[in-house]
Amino acid sequence: MLQKLRHPYVLLGLTALIWGANSVAGKLAVGHVSPMMLTLLRWTIAAVLLAPFAIPHLRRDWPLVRPRLGYFLVLGLVGFTGFNSLFYVALNYTSAIHSTIVQSSMPLVVFAGMFLVFRARVTWMQVAGFSLTLLGVLLTAAHGDLTTLAGLDLNHGDALMLVAVLFFGAYTIMLSRKPAIHWLSSIFLISLTAFATSLPVAIGEWALGAQRWPDAQGWAVVAFSVLLPSILSQSLYIKGVEMIGANRANLFINLVPIFGTILAVAVLGEPLFAYHVVALALVLGGITLAERGKRSLRMADAPAAPLPTRPRD
């Protein structure tokens, strides 16, 4: 039973559930804590909580970490500070349902990046699957009317979410080249660099007079964000990428809109429109096709079984 719980599909499924819930939490934060303050508090507290457990591992991993400090700084800036800052700002202008469906376009970014940077092989089923996912995301961003895309008439929140997706897609691609160190060392280092890089943006928010210190509901969102999306889900995601690779692991982000939509309707009472259902169906069809395409690629690369030898007379 314990072995099944450590299966990469279980780890990445739980990651998607937490990220879907994070969209709901981010929506609940609106008006109760400002986006950059939430980002700063999230990674500051996460780094403090992780430190006692991670530092012993980090000391052992230091020979591998030291020459790659710049790499971890970029990971924290792009994947944690950049993505989360844009994510929380976007939720001021769009719904939790929209934010989760738009997030499902992350595999497209990873797919394109892995092909362009590392020349990763692809199959036609993967291309078809990612195309279905893209159609679902565009349908969501266009609020069910694809003709609005011709005039680039997009909701500001959906546009910001698309930029955030580019950030996290780049983070995932870089994560696939992480040195072989303990997962606690990884999550602590990235959280620490996220704290360092989120401090300037929080100061900028304060200078603009837009900063809001959390109230009771804001602190509840901070606590949730620290324990689940910041520490647990990121640790599960890093482990999942290590186990099955960035392309396959990133496909499970397509489950985020499923969980996020259910939670947004149940917790926030957001309306569910017909185009949401169609978009979700396209996303599910896309992940199915893409995963089958990856499986066929692995089978094609597998060494052929040796031919049976004919017994001597």
Q: Which of 234, 278, 249 is nearest to 101 (CA)?
A: 278
Contact 148, 155 (CB under 8 A): no
- With cut-offs at 50, 70 and 90, classify the pLDDT of residue 174: confident
**pLDDT reading at 297 higher than 50:** yes
Q: End-to-end distance of the chain based on CA atoms, in angstroms? A: 51
Among 77-86, 113-122, 155-164, 172-181, the range with the most confident prediction by mean pLDDT is 77-86
For 189-237, how does the pLDDT look when each residue is reduced to its tens digit (9 = 90+)? Answer: 999 999 999 999 999 999 999 999 999 999 999 999 999 988 888 788 8
Lowest mean pLDDT across 47-61, 91-105, 289-303: 289-303
What secondary structure letter does DSSP report for 268?
I
Q: What are the counts of helices (DSSP H) followed by strands (DSSP E) for the chain?
A: 15, 0
**Statement: residue 300 has pLDDT above 80:** no
More confident residue, 144 or 153: 144
* DSSP assigned state of 74: H
Q: How many CB atoms lie within 10 A of CB 182?
A: 14
Among 274, 250, 251, 246, smallest CA distance to 261 is for 274
Give tens-digit pLDDT for 247-280. 677 677 777 878 888 899 899 998 888 878 888 7
Confidence of residue 291 (pLDDT cuts 50, 70, 90): low
More confident residue, 223 or 159: 223
Which pLDDT does position 5 carry in this prediction? 59
Task: Specify the higher pLDDT residue, 67 or 2.
Answer: 67
- At 306, is the pLDDT very low, low, confident or very high (cuts 50, 70, 90)? very low
What's the CA gap between 3 and 212, in Å, rounded? 44
- Per the CB < 8 A criterion, the answer to whether 130 and 111 are in contact is yes
Work out the mean pLDDT of the chain and round it to a whole number.
82
Least confident of 86-100, 135-149, 190-204, 273-287: 135-149
In 3D space, the residue among 40, 28, 119 whose CA is nearest the CA of residue 80 turns out to be: 40
Report CA 127 to chain centroid distance, whole Å.
20
DSSP 221-243: HHHHHIIIIIIIIHHHHHHHHHH
Please compute the mean of the pLDDT values over residues 139-151 and round it to a whole number: 66
CA–CA gap between residue 231 and residue 47 (Å, rounded): 9
At 309, is the pLDDT very low, low, confident or very high (cuts 50, 70, 90)? very low
Confidence category of residue 2, pLDDT binned at 50, 70, 90: very low
- What's the CA gap between 299 and 302, in Å, rounded? 5
